[in-house]
């Protein structure tokens, strides 16, 4: 994917507020490539803040990639593990049952 797509994805995800989510497909569509939802996942997977190959921080904050979930409401991947992602989402007020968001917004 071109760098411009990466920047679009990061900007879109950076605007997802706490307690809200978006799907990989929704992010891909907003970024102008509706079928590139797997590329969105790959871009966000590289957003691990403790690695040497970090992606840029948008507007002074790390991109909240934990707020992007699968289309079926399941948690999806996360660099620190899906249980860590689930805990962060729970702390932000989302309800989760059997590793799926039940009040996805």
Q: Which residues are catalytic?
A: 65
Judge contact between 75 and 89, C-beta under 8 A. yes
CA nearest to 13, candidates 80, 86, 91, 69:
69
The Cα 9–Cα 17 span in angstroms is: 15
Q: Are residues 13 and 65 in contact, defined by beta-carbon separation less than 8 angstroms?
A: yes
């Amino acid at each position: 994917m071109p760098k411009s797509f990466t920047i679009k994805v990061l900007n879109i995800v950076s605007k997802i507020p706490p307690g809200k989510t978006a799907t990989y497909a929704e992010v891909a569509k907003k970024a102008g490539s509706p079928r590139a939802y797997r590329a969105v996942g790959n871009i966000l997977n590289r957003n691990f803040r403790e690695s040497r190959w970090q992606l840029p921080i948008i507007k002074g904050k790390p991109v909240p990639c934990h707020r992007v979930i699968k289309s079926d409401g399941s948690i999806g991947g996360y660099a620190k593990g899906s249980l860590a992602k689930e805990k962060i989402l729970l702390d932000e007020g989302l309800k989760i049952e059997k590793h799926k968001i039940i009040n996805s917004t």
